Structure 1
Amino acid sequence: MELSRRGVLGGIGSAFAIGAIGFAGATTVTDEGSLSTDAGSAPGVGPDGDGAGGSGEADSVAVDSSAPFEATLLADGDDAGTLFDAADLSRVQGVISEEREHLVYVALSETGIGAVQDRLAEAGATDEPNRFVVSMNLDGTEVRRVELDESRVTALTDDEWGGVLTLPFGQEPVAVEVYESLASE
């Protein structure tokens, strides 16, 4: 199973400075043929370092629901609750390297999609998105921060959103650590 990059929702980009890291949402998960993931520097990284078999894509695997990964909502710097954690995810794909980005794709479960949308609304992020930041933490250490804005919140709360997020990292070791933590064995 491959998490699709087709259908990336508009208005969601990525940046590399701490405090301004974006994530993108894709709308579908496809079941295309298996790609080789037996070479490379990490699971899901092919011999060219850019995804399985140099194709820029890699197969997804089930998420370990007990992984110590959490995306927390911060409102004006204060904790506003969990946006999602490993228990809300169903699949993970990565690490896919493109130019200066090292991508980890995650797919929320159906329940996870609803929970994220509810949590955004309950925290007030749908009304005042610019007050909110998402802090992504691995085993209690922040690994990325995403500033929310109207276009990101609109994309995440769209009824057509399929629950796939792209988590870009500026450093490959961080992306590999996140992927390996989330990937079920």
Structure 2
Amino acid sequence: MTEPANERRDRSVDATALEWLVLEPDEEIRVQTGPRIQTIYPWLALALVGSLVVSIAVWIDVLSLLGLLWIPVFVAPAIWQYAQVTRTAFVVTTHRVAIRSGVLGLSVRVVGLERVQNTTRSQHALGRVADYGTVTLETASGSMLSFWNVEGPATVQASLESVTQSEDDDSDGRPAVPGSSEHWQTVLAEVRAWRRTLEETHSS
């Protein structure tokens, strides 16, 4: 029986392949994906059509041989887009969200899961048919992180929400109580003081 695509993707996650992200000893990768390679198809089509038109124009003497210098103009954007797509990676671990990008250099943006407040998913008409789209993460500071043009955006969003929910739960599986222990110790002391005051008032 054929193995589902999402299971194959999960089993392909390899922490040793992430040379740009150093994982903590207790940190595990839950989502590892990137923009779909089909993103470059329109640019590839432009490069092929443009190069073909220029070549034909030179062949029929509409353009001189110098007209061939236009070919790199059509090809360069496709090469750039390919490099951008293949050098972009989106990773969600048990502790954080990380995005790698950059063509000529390297840019890594990391945000802790506790700072992720909301996720949204957007797909245009073609994206709904081909099952790709963008998952946007809103952080506590108001900034946005985008997993753009990823395959199966609904699955990516569900996995992200599952990890962030686990982060919000304590080790017993119960929702974590907001506030520090010092804060709740102070509240407890005040409640005890009020109780003593009420007991003294009632006894008098």
**TM-score between both structures, scaled by the size of structure 1:** 0.28
Question: Which structure carries more relative contact order (alpha carbon 8 Å, separation 6+)?
Answer: 1
Select the structure of larger CA radius of gyration: 2
Q: Which has the higher helix share?
A: 2
Structure holding more strand per residue: 1
